[in-house]
Amino acid sequence: MRITILGASGLLGRALRQRWTGDQVSGFSSKDADIRDVQQVDALLERSKPEWIVLAAAYTDVDGCEANPELASAVNFRGAVNVAEAARRANAKLLFLSTDYVFDGAKPSAYEIEDARNPINVYGGSKAGAEAGILQVLPNACIVRTSWLFGVGGKCFPDSILPAASTRPHIEVVTDQRGCPTYTIDLAETIIQLCRRGAAGIVHVTNSGACSWFEFAQEIVRAAGLTTSVLPTSSDKFLRPARRPANSVLSPASLSGYGLRMPDWRDALRRYLNERQQTA
């Protein structure tokens, strides 16, 4: 297959380029084409002639989106719809990366793909709008919702916890937000399989299991062999511009429908730490 990755310089994009073998893969960053510009997207697809487009390009700074809602909408919503329209003109299939933040977090159990979108921050709103807009243009597009991404080579939660835990006697981490940590390598390999299986519709793709940020931090410290104490706190002690959903756990049922299962997040964390050490 001919694959075009948009957002190839990002955390997930780098993992996709690293793991995707056996197909003709082209990766592009915002320096190659600004997805807000229809003509640039059309020209890029004319050159790469993809059978599948993986759209991983986005404005992912959640608090930054809150301060810059116009930019969030332009990139995450309008830009994504631009790519969908260009994909339709190029007769290419599209896989779009979305987020757990399309949900409000009020559900006590894991979110299923048919649960209603109800974002509580600007970032989630821009991605929810993109989902709806893309499916209007390309009803058979694949929308991959994922969460709590971590990986080597970019900003992520473990990369923030590790230096703090190496230099402080204790750190405080919130206990009242739950989700599914997801290793970019595992996400990339699953995306590859979904494209090869011709996936369509919404699919929830995260590592198996769920935890709070507090539990995630505890496991990071333990697995790294550090002795720092991780202390529980609540979100109201760490006020941030954008609200976060209290529960954004995504059900794996839709992924299971393709015969796929992601490894447990603790196993993924151990592999991440090994990769991080090897690339240091």
CATH for 2-152+181-208+249-263 (3.50.50.60, 1.10.3720.10, 3.40.50.1010, 3.40.50.720)? 3.40.50.720
Mean pLDDT throughout 226-255?
95
Two tokens, residue 173: 């981490």
111 is catalytic: no
Mean pLDDT throughout 258-262?
97
Determine the pLDDT at residue 172.
Answer: 96
Residue 103 one-letter amino acid: F
pLDDT over 80 at 199, yes or no? yes
Two tokens, residue 111: 């979110």
Determine the pLDDT at residue 241.
Answer: 93
H helix intervals, the chain: 11-19, 38-48, 62-67, 69-72, 80-90, 122-137, 157-167, 184-196, 213-223, 253-256, 265-278
- Pair 88, 41: CB distance under 8 Å: no
- Pair 3, 80: CB distance under 8 Å: no
Mean pLDDT throughout 217-238?
95
Determine the pLDDT at residue 239.
Answer: 85
Determine the pLDDT at residue 231.
Answer: 96
Centre a 10 Å sphere on the Cβ of residue 70 and count the other Cβ atoms it contains. Answer: 8
Mean pLDDT throughout 96-115?
98
Instruction: Give dist(CA 86, CA 79) in Å, integer.
Output: 11
pLDDT over 80 at 280, yes or no? no
Q: Which pLDDT band, with edges at 50, 70 and 90, does 151 fall under?
A: very high
- Pair 16, 4: CB distance under 8 Å: no
Instruction: Give dist(CA 60, CA 71) in Å, integer.
Output: 11
Percent of the chain having pLDDT more than 70?
100
Predicted TM-score (pTM) of the model is 0.97
Domain ranges of the chain: 2-152+181-208+249-263
pLDDT over 90 at 36, yes or no? yes
Closest C-alpha among 214, 119, 135 to residue 175: 214
Two tokens, residue 79: 């830009």
Residue 238: what are its φ and ψ, rounded to 5°?
-125, 70
Q: Is the dihedral of CA 16, 18, 23, 25 positive or negative?
A: positive
Mean pLDDT throughout 97-112?
98
Instruction: Give dist(CA 71, CA 183) in Å, integer.
Output: 27
Determine the pLDDT at residue 238.
Answer: 82
Q: Which of 59, 101, 123, 272 is catalytic?
A: 123
Write the pLDDT tens digit of every residue in 47-103.
999 999 999 999 999 999 999 999 999 999 999 999 999 999 999 999 999 999 999
Q: How far is CA 80 from CA 5, 83, 88, 264, 266, in A?
A: 13, 5, 13, 30, 32
